[in-house]
Structure 1
Amino acid sequence: MIIPALDIINGNVVRLNQGRYEMQYNYGNQSPLLWIQKYLNQGANTIHLIDLSGARNPHKCQTSLLIKILKYNKLIKIQIGGGIRTLTDIETLLNAGANKIIIGSMAITHPHIVKEWFKHFSANILILALDIRINSEKKYIISINGWQKNSNFELKDIIELYNTVGVKYVLCTDISRDGTLSGSNVTLYQDLCSTWPNISFQASGGISNLEDIKKIKNSGVKDVIIGRAFLEKKITISKAIQCWQNA
């Protein structure tokens, strides 16, 4: 399905360009709650919500704001991530009303802990977020800490690691496409979906028009995350949903 994205820094909805915090655009001083209501009115049933302050520095998590958002409207589902480091962090968000929890950096830096989370909770509520940069050897290298640091791990190795504990949802972002409106990396998602057909992949980064949606739908992904194109009204949510259903 089509999932609108809201990234938040210091309480404001922003978009980064290729993951660079120094290249961010702030979409006014409207509360994230107002954006969520707009998207609900336009037909969205799920929101992708990321605490970019927390993703960059876990000590700056906007937990109180996230809880307020989660309790605001029970009509819309929210998958939420950014700065999640403990089992308690997960429980706090779930108790506030989150439907799915997105785990990123911890899955790379502390895989033994995150694998236990998959056993403690359910693979139905945990989304493995793997954000990649393509190096000079055309390898997909995972970035962590709000995309500020490259790890030493390749995408395929981490997917295989969590496949052993039954990972069901994987969100993969090509950072070079994120916030650019330059189209999605369809080849990446075709490779992922054909290699791991048992996993539901979410695509993120680069969508700017309905043609982009048609192309990514044919890759086999189950969901597509769209941020800037909706924030800047390049396309409407209702038309995006209709395009996705008819592609």
Structure 2
Amino acid sequence: MIFPAIDLMDGGCVRLLKGDFGQRTNYDLDPVKVAQGYAASGAEWVHVVDLDGAKNGQSSQTELIIEIAKDAGLKVQTGGGLRELSQLHRLINGGIERCVIGSLAVTNPQMVKFWLSELGPEKIVIALDINIDKDGVPRPATKGWTEASPQSLWSILDLYAGSGLKTILVTDIGRDGVQSGSNVELYEQIMADYPTLDLITSGGVGTLKHVKELKMLNPHGIIIGKALYEGNFTVEQAIKC
């Protein structure tokens, strides 16, 4: 399934290069209209990131995200700065289908496990945004990708065994926004080692060839952001390829 992405800062659409807030591209696009366009092209979901919230640790654009959910005719999964259960309730009650938990999934897994039990696994996606270290080990980054975790991706996933966790989103930060292809080998390993988890891939897609390579793995979802903004291909083409 294709998940077109909308990254928000200051109420507008942006993209970062490798998660660097200093390498930001602004797009003169209305987020609601962008989402409506994705729906018209055949998308069923949209992935919305509150980058202000991710950077500052406090969700900043809840009302805009709820507006997207109400007006676009798409299922919305969203994250960025979600730190309190009340924030998740506000989003879900506003029509958001799934909440994406990033930093807290690494720094406070016990709390996230509680949220899973309270809301149900269908309402939560754990986002693990990773850098590959010099030894080839994938390690999650936290606080809007500004801090590194000493733990590996594998140790974090193992922490959630038996928690009911259903869906994970994994981004290779080094490939995000670069459009040079995704880390297919990493995703293949995740799916082999954790077959009960639904994997959503993110980072690196720049061409339809890249989409096809990921589709061969048959993940739960493929997030595409900058390639759509830049007009490399359309959502409809990505769905059909």
Shift of residue 185, structure 1, vs aligned partner: 0.5
- Matching residue of 1:213: 211
Which residues in structure 2 correspond to 1:174-189 (within 5 Å)? Answer: 174-189=172-187
SS of 1:142 mapped into structure 2: strand
Which one of 84, 90, 93 corresponds to residue 91 of structure 2?
93
Structure 1-normalised TM-score? 0.95
- Return the alpha-carbon distance in structure 2 between the equivalents of residues 157 and 78 of structure 1: 29
Runs of 4+ displaced beyond 4 Å: none
- Matching residue of 2:123: 125
* Structure 1 unaligned blocks of 5 or more: none
Structure 2-normalised TM-score? 0.97
- Return the alpha-carbon distance in structure 2 between the equivalents of residues 144 and 59 of structure 1: 14
SS of 1:146 mapped into structure 2: coil
Q: Over aligned residue pairs, what C-alpha RMSD do you find?
A: 1.1
Please tell me whether the aligned partners of residues 190 and 220 of structure 1 are also in contact (alpha carbons under 8 angstroms).
no
- Matching residue of 1:27: 27
Please tell me whether the aligned partners of residues 59 and 80 of structure 2 are also in contact (alpha carbons under 8 angstroms).
no
1:83 maps onto 2:98 in alignment:
no
SS of 1:152 mapped into structure 2: coil
- Matching residue of 2:50: 51
- Return the alpha-carbon distance in structure 1 between the equivalents of residues 142 and 46 of structure 2: 22
- Return the alpha-carbon distance in structure 2 between the equivalents of residues 59 and 82 of structure 1: 8
For each residue in 1:100-120, what CA deviation from the matched residue of structure 2 results, as whole angstroms up to 9, or x when unmatched? 110101111211111100111
- Return the alpha-carbon distance in structure 1 between the equivalents of residues 197 and 52 of structure 2: 29
Shift of residue 69, structure 1, vs aligned partner: 2.4
Shift of residue 62, structure 1, vs aligned partner: 1.7
* Structure 2 unaligned blocks of 5 or more: none
- Matching residue of 1:66: 65
For each residue in 1:164-200, what CA deviation from the matched residue of structure 2 results, as whole angstroms up to 9, or x when unmatched? 2021100000000000011000000000000011111
Aligned residues: 241
Percent identical pairs in the alignment equals 38
For each residue in 1:52-79, what CA deviation from the matched residue of structure 2 results, as whole angstroms up to 9, or x when unmatched? 0000102462223223323323x21000
Which residues in structure 2 correspond to 1:192-211 (within 5 Å)? Answer: 192-211=190-209
- Return the alpha-carbon distance in structure 2 between the equivalents of residues 218 and 40 of structure 1: 24
